[in-house]
Structure 1
Protein backbone atom coordinates (compact mmCIF):
# COMPACT_ATOMS: atom_id res chain seq x y z
CA UNK A 1 0.00 0.00 0.00
CA UNK A 2 1.35 3.41 -0.92
CA UNK A 3 2.22 6.09 1.62
CA UNK A 4 -0.55 8.60 2.41
CA UNK A 5 1.33 11.32 0.51
CA UNK A 6 0.63 9.32 -2.66
CA UNK A 7 -3.08 10.02 -2.28
CA UNK A 8 -2.42 13.64 -3.22
CA UNK A 9 -4.19 15.17 -0.23
CA UNK A 10 -2.02 18.29 -0.32
CA UNK A 11 -2.75 18.79 -4.03
CA UNK A 12 -6.43 17.98 -3.39
CA UNK A 13 -6.61 20.62 -0.65
CA UNK A 14 -4.82 23.20 -2.79
CA UNK A 15 -7.19 22.55 -5.68
CA UNK A 16 -10.29 22.94 -3.52
CA UNK A 17 -8.95 26.13 -1.96
CA UNK A 18 -8.22 27.48 -5.43
CA UNK A 19 -11.80 26.69 -6.49
CA UNK A 20 -13.24 28.55 -3.51
CA UNK A 21 -11.03 31.54 -4.21
CA UNK A 22 -11.86 31.62 -7.93
CA UNK A 23 -15.60 31.96 -7.25
CA UNK A 24 -15.71 34.29 -4.22
CA UNK A 25 -18.82 36.19 -5.26
CA UNK A 26 -21.06 33.32 -6.35
CA UNK A 27 -22.05 31.70 -3.07
CA UNK A 28 -25.32 33.59 -2.91
CA UNK A 29 -26.31 31.52 -5.95
CA UNK A 30 -25.89 28.24 -4.04
CA UNK A 31 -29.52 28.10 -2.89
CA UNK A 32 -29.54 27.53 0.88
CA UNK A 33 -25.75 27.36 1.20
CA UNK A 34 -24.17 30.59 2.45
CA UNK A 35 -20.81 29.30 3.69
CA UNK A 36 -18.34 26.54 2.81
CA UNK A 37 -15.83 25.07 5.27
CA UNK A 38 -12.74 23.12 4.26
CA UNK A 39 -11.54 20.78 7.06
CA UNK A 40 -8.53 19.77 4.97
CA UNK A 41 -7.16 23.30 5.21
CA UNK A 42 -6.71 23.23 8.99
CA UNK A 43 -6.51 19.46 9.59
CA UNK A 44 -4.38 18.19 6.71
CA UNK A 45 -2.00 16.28 9.01
CA UNK A 46 -4.94 14.50 10.65
CA UNK A 47 -6.26 13.42 7.25
CA UNK A 48 -2.81 12.24 6.21
CA UNK A 49 -2.68 10.02 9.30
CA UNK A 50 -6.22 8.77 8.65
CA UNK A 51 -5.38 7.77 5.08
CA UNK A 52 -2.20 6.17 6.36
CA UNK A 53 -4.36 3.66 8.27
CA UNK A 54 -5.81 2.29 5.04
CA UNK A 55 -5.79 -1.54 5.29
CA UNK A 56 -3.35 -3.61 3.27
CA UNK A 57 -5.36 -6.84 3.40
CA UNK A 58 -5.74 -9.22 0.48
CA UNK A 59 -7.36 -7.49 -2.50
CA UNK A 60 -10.19 -10.05 -2.59
CA UNK A 61 -11.50 -8.82 0.78
CA UNK A 62 -10.93 -5.06 0.54
CA UNK A 63 -14.03 -2.90 0.78
CA UNK A 64 -14.18 0.84 0.19
CA UNK A 65 -17.03 2.77 1.81
CA UNK A 66 -17.95 6.14 0.32
CA UNK A 67 -20.02 8.62 2.31
CA UNK A 68 -21.08 12.10 1.18
CA UNK A 69 -19.26 14.78 3.17
CA UNK A 70 -18.60 15.79 6.79
CA UNK A 71 -21.34 17.12 9.03
CA UNK A 72 -21.02 20.55 10.73
CA UNK A 73 -21.09 19.13 14.28
CA UNK A 74 -17.82 17.22 13.69
CA UNK A 75 -15.88 19.70 11.54
CA UNK A 76 -12.52 17.89 11.49
CA UNK A 77 -13.75 16.07 8.42
CA UNK A 78 -13.12 12.41 9.32
CA UNK A 79 -16.25 10.48 8.19
CA UNK A 80 -18.89 10.27 10.96
CA UNK A 81 -16.18 10.57 13.63
CA UNK A 82 -14.19 13.03 15.72
CA UNK A 83 -10.97 11.25 16.82
CA UNK A 84 -9.95 14.07 19.14
CA UNK A 85 -13.12 13.62 21.22
CA UNK A 86 -13.65 9.92 20.44
CA UNK A 87 -17.20 10.71 19.34
CA UNK A 88 -19.48 9.47 16.59
CA UNK A 89 -21.92 11.91 15.05
CA UNK A 90 -25.59 10.98 15.32
CA UNK A 91 -25.66 9.35 11.88
CA UNK A 92 -22.50 7.38 12.64
CA UNK A 93 -24.02 5.24 15.40
CA UNK A 94 -26.51 3.25 13.23
CA UNK A 95 -23.95 3.05 10.42
CA UNK A 96 -21.28 1.43 12.56
CA UNK A 97 -23.84 -0.87 14.18
CA UNK A 98 -24.75 -2.05 10.67
CA UNK A 99 -21.10 -2.46 9.65
CA UNK A 100 -20.36 -4.37 12.84
CA UNK A 101 -23.00 -6.93 11.82
CA UNK A 102 -21.86 -7.01 8.20
CA UNK A 103 -18.21 -7.63 9.04
CA UNK A 104 -18.73 -9.71 12.20
CA UNK A 105 -16.89 -7.35 14.50
CA UNK A 106 -14.76 -4.23 14.51
CA UNK A 107 -11.41 -5.89 13.89
CA UNK A 108 -12.50 -7.41 10.60
CA UNK A 109 -13.79 -4.00 9.52
CA UNK A 110 -10.46 -2.37 10.37
CA UNK A 111 -8.55 -5.11 8.55
CA UNK A 112 -10.57 -4.96 5.33
CA UNK A 113 -12.32 -1.61 4.98
CA UNK A 114 -11.60 2.04 4.41
CA UNK A 115 -14.27 4.72 4.90
CA UNK A 116 -13.93 8.02 3.06
CA UNK A 117 -16.03 11.05 2.20
CA UNK A 118 -16.75 11.75 -1.45
CA UNK A 119 -16.32 15.46 -0.72
CA UNK A 120 -14.30 16.84 2.23
CA UNK A 121 -16.12 20.19 2.31
CA UNK A 122 -18.92 21.23 4.67
CA UNK A 123 -21.78 23.30 3.27
CA UNK A 124 -23.94 25.26 5.73
CA UNK A 125 -26.83 27.72 5.62
CA UNK A 126 -27.08 31.09 7.39
CA UNK A 127 -27.93 29.34 10.67
CA UNK A 128 -24.95 26.97 10.47
CA UNK A 129 -27.15 23.97 9.62
CA UNK A 130 -25.97 21.34 7.17
CA UNK A 131 -26.79 21.64 3.47
CA UNK A 132 -26.48 18.20 1.85
CA UNK A 133 -24.63 17.72 -1.42
CA UNK A 134 -27.86 16.76 -3.14
CA UNK A 135 -29.33 20.17 -2.28
CA UNK A 136 -26.59 22.07 -4.12
CA UNK A 137 -27.09 23.39 -7.68
CA UNK A 138 -25.18 20.81 -9.71
CA UNK A 139 -24.74 23.09 -12.74
CA UNK A 140 -23.20 25.95 -10.78
CA UNK A 141 -19.57 26.49 -11.92
CA UNK A 142 -18.19 26.27 -8.39
CA UNK A 143 -20.03 23.04 -7.59
CA UNK A 144 -19.08 21.50 -10.95
CA UNK A 145 -15.43 22.37 -10.31
CA UNK A 146 -15.48 20.97 -6.77
CA UNK A 147 -17.19 17.72 -7.79
CA UNK A 148 -14.77 17.27 -10.69
CA UNK A 149 -11.89 17.36 -8.21
CA UNK A 150 -13.75 15.01 -5.86
CA UNK A 151 -14.31 12.55 -8.72
CA UNK A 152 -10.61 12.60 -9.58
CA UNK A 153 -9.57 12.05 -5.96
CA UNK A 154 -12.03 9.17 -5.58
CA UNK A 155 -10.64 7.53 -8.72
CA UNK A 156 -7.13 7.90 -7.29
CA UNK A 157 -8.16 6.23 -4.03
CA UNK A 158 -9.91 3.40 -5.87
CA UNK A 159 -6.88 2.86 -8.08
CA UNK A 160 -4.56 2.73 -5.08
CA UNK A 161 -6.72 0.73 -2.65
CA UNK A 162 -8.09 -1.60 -5.37
CA UNK A 163 -11.22 -2.72 -3.50
CA UNK A 164 -13.27 -5.74 -4.53
CA UNK A 165 -16.48 -3.82 -3.77
CA UNK A 166 -17.61 -0.32 -2.90
CA UNK A 167 -20.36 0.35 -0.35
CA UNK A 168 -22.06 3.64 -1.21
CA UNK A 169 -23.65 5.36 1.77
CA UNK A 170 -26.71 7.18 0.47
CA UNK A 171 -28.17 7.75 -2.96
CA UNK A 172 -25.93 10.71 -3.77
CA UNK A 173 -22.72 8.76 -3.11
CA UNK A 174 -24.05 5.84 -5.14
CA UNK A 175 -24.78 8.02 -8.17
CA UNK A 176 -21.36 9.69 -8.04
CA UNK A 177 -19.48 6.39 -7.74
CA UNK A 178 -21.62 4.75 -10.43
CA UNK A 179 -20.84 7.60 -12.83
CA UNK A 180 -17.14 6.68 -12.67
CA UNK A 181 -17.87 3.31 -14.32
CA UNK A 182 -15.12 1.46 -12.44
CA UNK A 183 -16.51 -2.02 -13.10
CA UNK A 184 -16.28 -2.76 -9.36
CA UNK A 185 -19.28 -4.21 -7.49
CA UNK A 186 -21.34 -1.41 -5.93
CA UNK A 187 -23.46 -1.97 -2.82
CA UNK A 188 -25.82 0.96 -2.08
CA UNK A 189 -27.11 1.43 1.46
CA UNK A 190 -29.39 4.10 2.82
CA UNK A 191 -27.76 7.07 4.47
CA UNK A 192 -27.97 6.47 8.25
CA UNK A 193 -29.83 9.58 9.28
CA UNK A 194 -31.58 9.35 12.68
CA UNK A 195 -34.91 8.86 10.86
CA UNK A 196 -33.69 6.22 8.42
CA UNK A 197 -32.73 2.71 9.31
CA UNK A 198 -29.39 1.78 7.73
CA UNK A 199 -29.85 -1.28 5.54
CA UNK A 200 -28.90 -2.62 2.16
CA UNK A 201 -31.15 -1.07 -0.50
Structure 2
Protein backbone atom coordinates (compact mmCIF):
# COMPACT_ATOMS: atom_id res chain seq x y z
CA UNK A 1 0.00 0.00 0.00
CA UNK A 2 1.58 3.24 -1.11
CA UNK A 3 -1.04 5.96 -0.67
CA UNK A 4 -1.53 8.03 2.49
CA UNK A 5 -4.94 6.42 3.02
CA UNK A 6 -3.45 2.94 2.80
CA UNK A 7 -0.75 3.88 5.30
CA UNK A 8 -3.42 5.05 7.75
CA UNK A 9 -5.23 1.71 7.37
CA UNK A 10 -2.00 -0.12 8.07
CA UNK A 11 -1.29 1.94 11.17
CA UNK A 12 -3.71 0.00 13.41
CA UNK A 13 -1.96 -3.23 12.42
CA UNK A 14 1.44 -1.73 13.16
CA UNK A 15 0.26 -0.54 16.58
CA UNK A 16 -1.12 -3.98 17.46
CA UNK A 17 2.13 -5.52 16.26
CA UNK A 18 4.27 -3.19 18.37
CA UNK A 19 2.12 -3.86 21.43
CA UNK A 20 2.57 -7.59 20.98
CA UNK A 21 -1.10 -8.38 20.34
CA UNK A 22 -0.36 -9.97 16.95
CA UNK A 23 2.62 -11.40 15.10
CA UNK A 24 4.01 -10.22 11.79
CA UNK A 25 2.71 -13.36 10.07
CA UNK A 26 -0.80 -12.80 11.46
CA UNK A 27 -0.77 -9.20 10.25
CA UNK A 28 0.38 -10.21 6.77
CA UNK A 29 -2.36 -12.86 6.50
CA UNK A 30 -5.02 -10.37 7.58
CA UNK A 31 -3.76 -7.77 5.10
CA UNK A 32 -3.81 -10.35 2.29
CA UNK A 33 -7.43 -11.21 3.12
CA UNK A 34 -8.34 -7.54 3.36
CA UNK A 35 -7.13 -6.93 -0.20
CA UNK A 36 -9.72 -9.38 -1.50
CA UNK A 37 -12.60 -8.99 0.99
CA UNK A 38 -12.23 -5.21 1.55
CA UNK A 39 -13.26 -5.70 5.17
CA UNK A 40 -11.84 -3.63 8.00
CA UNK A 41 -8.54 -4.95 9.26
CA UNK A 42 -9.74 -4.96 12.86
CA UNK A 43 -12.85 -6.98 12.00
CA UNK A 44 -10.73 -9.58 10.21
CA UNK A 45 -8.35 -9.91 13.15
CA UNK A 46 -11.25 -10.39 15.56
CA UNK A 47 -12.96 -12.90 13.23
CA UNK A 48 -9.72 -14.89 13.06
CA UNK A 49 -9.55 -14.91 16.85
CA UNK A 50 -6.19 -13.16 16.69
CA UNK A 51 -7.17 -10.24 18.94
CA UNK A 52 -9.95 -9.57 21.43
CA UNK A 53 -12.26 -6.60 21.03
CA UNK A 54 -10.76 -4.82 24.05
CA UNK A 55 -7.25 -5.21 22.59
CA UNK A 56 -8.46 -3.73 19.32
CA UNK A 57 -10.06 -0.83 21.22
CA UNK A 58 -6.71 -0.09 22.86
CA UNK A 59 -5.03 -0.16 19.47
CA UNK A 60 -7.64 2.17 17.96
CA UNK A 61 -7.17 4.60 20.84
CA UNK A 62 -3.42 4.62 20.18
CA UNK A 63 -4.09 5.06 16.47
CA UNK A 64 -6.28 8.09 17.13
CA UNK A 65 -3.61 9.67 19.30
CA UNK A 66 -0.96 8.93 16.70
CA UNK A 67 -3.04 10.54 13.93
CA UNK A 68 -3.77 13.57 16.11
CA UNK A 69 -0.08 14.09 16.91
CA UNK A 70 0.92 13.66 13.27
CA UNK A 71 -1.63 16.23 12.11
CA UNK A 72 -0.53 18.56 14.89
CA UNK A 73 3.08 18.28 13.72
CA UNK A 74 2.08 18.97 10.13
CA UNK A 75 0.02 22.02 11.12
CA UNK A 76 2.85 23.40 13.25
CA UNK A 77 5.37 22.87 10.45
CA UNK A 78 3.18 24.67 7.90
CA UNK A 79 2.43 27.57 10.25
CA UNK A 80 6.12 27.89 11.12
CA UNK A 81 7.07 28.03 7.44
CA UNK A 82 4.50 30.76 6.75
CA UNK A 83 5.49 32.74 9.86
CA UNK A 84 9.20 32.53 9.08
CA UNK A 85 8.68 33.66 5.50
CA UNK A 86 6.64 36.65 6.69
CA UNK A 87 9.12 37.46 9.46
CA UNK A 88 12.16 37.29 7.16
CA UNK A 89 10.53 39.55 4.58
CA UNK A 90 9.56 42.12 7.22
CA UNK A 91 13.09 42.04 8.66
CA UNK A 92 14.56 42.61 5.19
CA UNK A 93 12.24 45.52 4.48
CA UNK A 94 12.89 47.27 7.79
CA UNK A 95 16.67 46.84 7.56
CA UNK A 96 16.70 48.17 4.00
CA UNK A 97 14.55 51.15 4.95
CA UNK A 98 16.58 52.08 8.03
CA UNK A 99 19.84 51.67 6.08
CA UNK A 100 18.49 53.91 3.32
CA UNK A 101 17.72 56.64 5.85
CA UNK A 102 21.07 56.24 7.60
CA UNK A 103 22.78 56.97 4.29
CA UNK A 104 20.55 59.98 3.67
CA UNK A 105 21.25 61.40 7.13
CA UNK A 106 25.02 61.07 6.61
CA UNK A 107 24.71 63.33 3.56
CA UNK A 108 22.80 66.01 5.46
CA UNK A 109 24.45 69.18 6.67
CA UNK A 110 23.69 70.26 10.22
CA UNK A 111 21.21 73.13 10.27
CA UNK A 112 21.35 73.30 14.05
CA UNK A 113 23.80 72.11 16.67
CA UNK A 114 23.94 68.29 16.85
CA UNK A 115 21.08 67.79 14.39
CA UNK A 116 22.73 64.96 12.50
CA UNK A 117 23.69 63.18 15.74
CA UNK A 118 20.09 63.25 16.93
CA UNK A 119 18.90 61.77 13.67
CA UNK A 120 21.59 59.09 13.73
CA UNK A 121 20.75 58.25 17.35
CA UNK A 122 17.05 57.71 16.69
CA UNK A 123 17.86 55.54 13.66
CA UNK A 124 20.10 53.38 15.86
CA UNK A 125 17.22 52.99 18.30
CA UNK A 126 14.93 52.07 15.40
CA UNK A 127 17.14 49.01 14.89
CA UNK A 128 15.44 47.53 17.98
CA UNK A 129 12.56 46.58 15.69
CA UNK A 130 14.52 44.34 13.27
CA UNK A 131 16.36 42.94 16.31
CA UNK A 132 13.00 41.97 17.80
CA UNK A 133 12.19 40.24 14.51
CA UNK A 134 15.38 38.18 14.86
CA UNK A 135 14.17 37.08 18.31
CA UNK A 136 10.87 36.17 16.66
CA UNK A 137 12.76 33.71 14.45
CA UNK A 138 13.94 31.87 17.57
CA UNK A 139 10.42 31.81 19.02
CA UNK A 140 9.01 30.41 15.79
CA UNK A 141 11.56 27.59 15.91
CA UNK A 142 10.77 26.87 19.56
CA UNK A 143 7.03 26.74 18.89
CA UNK A 144 7.52 24.38 15.96
CA UNK A 145 9.64 22.03 18.07
CA UNK A 146 6.79 21.85 20.59
CA UNK A 147 4.18 21.49 17.80
CA UNK A 148 2.50 24.55 19.34
CA UNK A 149 0.18 25.60 16.53
CA UNK A 150 -1.73 28.03 18.76
CA UNK A 151 1.40 29.98 19.63
CA UNK A 152 2.44 30.03 15.98
CA UNK A 153 -0.96 31.47 15.05
CA UNK A 154 -0.49 34.21 17.66
CA UNK A 155 2.96 34.99 16.28
CA UNK A 156 1.55 35.09 12.76
CA UNK A 157 -1.17 37.48 13.87
CA UNK A 158 1.39 39.76 15.50
CA UNK A 159 3.61 39.71 12.42
CA UNK A 160 0.67 40.51 10.15
CA UNK A 161 -0.19 43.52 12.30
CA UNK A 162 3.43 44.71 12.29
CA UNK A 163 3.60 44.27 8.53
CA UNK A 164 0.55 46.51 8.05
CA UNK A 165 1.91 49.09 10.47
CA UNK A 166 5.30 49.18 8.79
CA UNK A 167 3.78 49.55 5.32
CA UNK A 168 1.83 52.59 6.57
CA UNK A 169 4.93 53.98 8.32
CA UNK A 170 7.10 53.62 5.24
CA UNK A 171 4.47 55.32 3.10
CA UNK A 172 4.17 58.20 5.58
CA UNK A 173 7.95 58.65 5.86
CA UNK A 174 8.45 58.69 2.10
CA UNK A 175 6.60 62.00 1.91
CA UNK A 176 7.48 63.37 5.34
CA UNK A 177 9.51 66.52 5.80
CA UNK A 178 12.86 66.36 7.57
CA UNK A 179 11.77 69.35 9.62
CA UNK A 180 10.92 70.19 12.28
CA UNK A 181 13.57 67.87 13.69
CA UNK A 182 11.61 66.93 16.82
CA UNK A 183 8.66 65.78 14.73
CA UNK A 184 10.88 63.69 12.45
CA UNK A 185 12.58 62.08 15.46
CA UNK A 186 9.19 61.36 17.03
CA UNK A 187 8.04 59.51 13.92
CA UNK A 188 11.02 57.17 14.07
CA UNK A 189 10.60 56.45 17.77
CA UNK A 190 7.48 54.44 16.98
CA UNK A 191 9.68 51.58 15.74
CA UNK A 192 11.11 51.22 19.22
CA UNK A 193 7.57 50.96 20.58
CA UNK A 194 6.76 48.28 18.03
CA UNK A 195 9.82 46.35 19.13
CA UNK A 196 8.50 46.34 22.70
CA UNK A 197 5.03 45.30 21.53
CA UNK A 198 6.46 42.43 19.51
CA UNK A 199 8.62 41.27 22.41
CA UNK A 200 5.54 41.17 24.66
CA UNK A 201 3.67 39.10 22.09
CA UNK A 202 6.55 36.63 21.89
CA UNK A 203 6.63 35.88 25.62
TM-score of the pair, normalised by structure 2: 0.24
User: TM-score w.r.t. structure 1 length?
Assistant: 0.24
Quick one: higher RCO (CA 8 Å, sep 6+), 1 or 2? Answer: 1
More strand by share: 1
